[in-house]
Structure 1
Amino acid sequence: MSKLSLTGRLITSAGKNIKSLVTYLPAVEIANYICVDRIYPDLEFFYEAAKNKTNLKKVSDIQEDIKHELLTGAIGAPLSLTIVIEDKPILFTKDEFGCLEYDRASSFVIGNVLLLIAILKTLGIKAPLFSSRPCASEIKKNSVFRQMLAKEEILLTFVFNDENGLSEEQVREFFFKYTRQHTSLHLTQFSKPDKEFPLKPFINKLAQDLNFEQYGGVSSKSKHVKVSENYLTTEYILFKFIVGSVAGAQIQETCMMSDDVTFSSGQRVSKVLSDGYINYIEAFLVTWIQPLKLDNKSMRAGFRLSAQIWQALSLVIHQLVANGASIEDVTKAGLLLGKLDYNKKATHWHDCEVMGLDSNGRLYKNSANSTREYRNGLAIYFYNLISNDPDYPS
């Protein structure tokens, strides 16, 4: 079905093009009328941030609440979702009712995302967060509950503009407004996700000064660079890179993008950067990315664009500066590590304690017990490569 139709109560406001249509559907039908597994392209970053233990626990609690309400008849909150239609739908009206004709692919759930996940997980339907198929024992155990939920009516509010459609900026703004007014969705990196985070100006400065655009630019849509994308890196990776370079491993690991990151002494990372530390970071990166100029495609392969590699390199900068390295020394270090072969077949990884061959004995991979151990192990390896290089000033 390329076009879908839904009838419901139409809500309009004088002088506004944004309209709402309120209707009901049984839970089992939701996936037929809404693109439930869609992550809006401009909000990928925040969905990545939403994949955390707090939200997973909330989803489980919501499932238990609904189960208790359906099986015992206890009072509970009405199950409701808010959906935006991005493209321009067709609207037929009669009195206070409307019939909406739209493309399912243009729909996106803005409101009550965790409730949506709880419903989909219970019914065994793929979800944008924490998606997993229930095992046979789960299906058997919750059979009655699942059947009852499948028939339960869900209140749906469709928000749309049948004259001009909704722009990406409007969808994004609506997502943040809903998240601000309904605080159930916990975003690990953002307390105010619609606001510019404190270190954003320094990320912008790096991207501009080093002309990252010629290498693919910086993504603000996701935490990590995907294989299918041409970005050099992401805002999240650069944030961690900057903090690691200035403040070291512990603060790098625990800091959040919404914070004005500080040392234990209370000194702000932004102040240190403004006082000149940003020059060390630029000096390192300007030489480290030089090989990408010569052969962007092949140089992007392997580990070079890995978030853990970038974070480990930042810890190298931190150690070099802590040991009294000059701008020239850091520039030389970037050049030496920039020439390194980051291919997964590169034999030098044999000397790195946190790298090991895969089961086929062909490609190197992370062999550490944790992400922290892997990142720190890489940093030690890179630092030793510099220290032992005859061209590096002792």
Structure 2
Amino acid sequence: MSRVQLSGRLTSGNDRNIKSLVAFFPLAELGSYVDTINVCSGLEIFFQAARNANNKKKVLDIEQDIKSEILNGGLITPLALTVVIGGKVELQRTRHFWDIVYDSSEAFVIGNLLTYNATLNLLGIKAPLFSSRLTSSELKKDSVCRQQLAVEDVMLTILFDEEGVDDTRMRELFFKHQRRNPELHLTQFSNKNSFPLQETIRQLSAELCLPSYGGVSDKAKHVRGTEKFITTEYILFKVIVGAVAGEKLQEYAKMSDDVSLEGGTLVSTAFQTTYKPYIEAFFKAWLEPIYSGSELARGGFRLSAQIWQALSLVVHELVSKGAGVELVEGAGAKLGQLDYSKQASHWQNCDVMGLDSNGRLFKSAVKSTREFKRGLKDYFLDCIPES
């Protein structure tokens, strides 16, 4: 725990729980008061979405602006960042100011992230969105700029609750800032901390008993093998859209959209009125080997987003052909018995799979994820002769 004390002016908050304190200090001290290394777990999925070409170009432009100002006599206006403290905070009144005492490892920048990223890059510090290691010659070349920038003041607006701010509240504050200061281009998300299909996804998660398999992550797009989760909200979004609407809409639909079919029917409505029993029956049967407790069954390609999405396209294909719930459930059971380990020999029969350079593990043998999903769907359908 790294407890720090910071003095500033206490300002009125936008609700009775959240307070804000404004403080100024040299940029060189920023790492003492906020966590510049890690991303708040509740915001990780949004940081992933922000790592795109549009934001990267903006960061490079901001770097050039800051560098130009510094080399021409200093910043015209102080750099301003918004920070949220996740943990508990002690608030103390002094003669002229207020002091807050908190753990700096629980303080995260959520506002003016592109400027924050650009500033860290210029200071030679690893940044949360886009970062590259500077060579010794680059460090030497920009040393004057870096030294001058380090003594410039930064203005922090620190948002906190003395009892702490949980991940849900952190996301609300993050999106409130984005609505008022729309700097970030977020793929898959609009300036909202929820999305139209979220309730449908949570309903499907409950029906499939996914919490018993490790749960559904709302913090990342994909599952890492080291995590307990079986899937993510993002993957389930793609599963629902794929099963209901097919490949094309699955590929292009964004989580922030009210996704609808060609006739105008919402995907959420079609799920409830038609597709729900098919999707649930298929994936319950497919997940059964994992429920038996086999660690091997959970590993390999079972966690792959592309596998889940391809399976949902199998459901769409079967339903489109008029298959009943029992046949769809049988298909899920049959595909659930496949060996999803990366060295399973049956993958050699899949046109879009190939061995790695060591000739040991199978991986995608095609250039695009869209082609990979389509090939997986075709292979899975071939594994169900009665389809």
Verify same fold: TM over 0.5.
yes
Cα distance in 2 for partners of 1:14, 1:178 equals 12
Q: How does 1:256-267 map to 2 (within 5 A)?
A: 256-267=254-265
Shift of 1:257: 0.9
- Please tell me whether residue 323 in structure 1 is matched to residue 326 in structure 2: no
Alignment length (residue pairs): 387
Tell me what 1:193 maps to.
192
Distance in 1 of aligned mates of 2:13 and 2:258: 40
Residues 1:321 and 1:140: Cα distance change in structure 2 (over 3 Å): farther
Query: Quick one: which amino acid aligns to residue 102 of structure 1?
Result: Y
For 1:334 and 1:72, the matched residues in 2 are separated by 66
1:138 deviates by: 4.2
Does the Cα contact within 8 Å between 2:225 and 2:303 map onto a contact in 1? no
Supply the distance in 1 between the matched residues of 2:375 and 2:20 (Cα, whole angstroms).
Answer: 54
Ranges in structure 2 where 5+ consecutive residues have no aligned partner:
none
Question: Do the aligned residues in 1 keep the contact of 2:86 with 2:166 (CA within 8 Å)?
Answer: yes
Q: CA deviation at 1:141?
A: 5.0
Q: How does 1:116-155 map to 2 (within 5 A)?
A: 116-136=116-136, 138-139=138-139, 142-155=142-155
Aligned in 2, Cα 1:13/1:368: closer, same or farther, shift over 3 Å?
Answer: closer
Instruction: Provide Cα deviations, 1:199-221, integer angstroms capped at 9, x if missing partner.
Output: 22322222222222221222222
Correspondences of 1:92-131 after superposition (within 5 Å): 92-131=92-131
- When the two chains are superposed, the root-mean-square deviation of aligned CA atoms in Å is 2.4
Cα 1:90–1:209 change in 2 (3 A) is closer
CA distance in 2, matches of 1:89, 1:134: 36
Range that drifts further, 319-328 or 7-16: 7-16
Match of 1:300 in 2: 298
Write the distance in 1 (CA, Å) between the matches of 2:84 and 2:69.
Answer: 28
Which secondary structure does the structure 2 equivalent of 1:259 belong to?
coil
1:182 match: 181
Contact 1:66 1:76 in 2 (8 A): no
Output the CA distance in 2 between the equivalents of 1:160 and 1:108.
11
Which residue in 2 is equivalent to 1:334?
Answer: 332
CA deviations 1:344-366 (Å, max 9, x no partner) are 11011112222222222222122
Which residue is 2:5 aligned to?
5
The alignment status of 1:33 with 2:29, answered yes or no, reads no
Secondary structure, counterpart of 1:303 in structure 2: helix
Residue by residue over 1:243-297, the C-alpha shift from the partner in whole angstroms, topping out at 9 and shown as x without a partner, is: 1112122211111111111234434322322321222211211111111111242
Give unmatched runs, 5+ long, in structure 1.
388-392
Change in 2 beyond 3 A, CA 1:124/1:212? same
- SS of 2:301 mapped into structure 1: coil
Question: Is 1:213 the counterpart of 2:211 in the alignment?
Answer: yes
CA distance in 2, matches of 1:3, 1:340: 52
Deviation at 1:367, TM superposition (A): 2.4
> Does the 8 A contact of 2:221 with 2:233 survive in 1?
yes
Question: What is the alpha-carbon distance in structure 2 between the residues aligned to residue 372 and residue 102 of structure 1?
Answer: 47
Q: Which residue of 1 aligns with 2:69?
A: 69
Change (3 A) 1:296 1:59: farther
Alignment-derived partner of residue 80 in structure 1: 80
Aligned partner of 1:273: which letter? F
Structure 2: distance between partners of 1:168 and 1:52: 24
| Contact 1:215 1:296 (C-alpha < 8 Å) held by counterparts | no
Mark the CA change 1:255 to 1:100 in structure 2 (over 3 Å): closer, same or farther: same
Q: Which residue identity does 1:238 align to in structure 2?
A: L
Tell which deviates more after alignment, 8-17 or 61-70: 8-17
1:293 partner amino acid: Y
Q: State whether residues 354 and 364 of structure 2, in contact with CA within 8 Å, keep that contact through their aligned partners in structure 1.
A: yes
Distance 1:385 1:144 in 2: 64
Aligned pair partner of 1:384 in 374, 382, 385: 382
SS at match of 1:127: coil
TM-score (norm 1): 0.90
Q: Taking structure 1 as reference, are residues 241 and 85 closer, same or farther at Cα in structure 2, changes over 3 Å only?
A: same
**Cα separation, 1, equivalents of 2:14 and 2:107:** 25
Deviation at 1:13, TM superposition (A): 6.9
Deviations 1:37-56 (A, max 9, x none): 22222222222222222222
Contact kept? 1:246, 1:269, Cα under 8 Å: yes
Instruction: State the Cα distance separating 1:81 from its structure 2 match.
Output: 0.9
Query: 2 CA distance for matches of 1:146 and 1:14?
Result: 36
1:129: Cα distance to partner?
Answer: 1.4
Q: Which residue of 2 is the match for residue 390 of structure 1? A: none
Match of 2:45 in 1: 45
When residues 348 and 238 of structure 1 are mapped into structure 2, their CA distance, relative to the original with a 3 A threshold, is: same
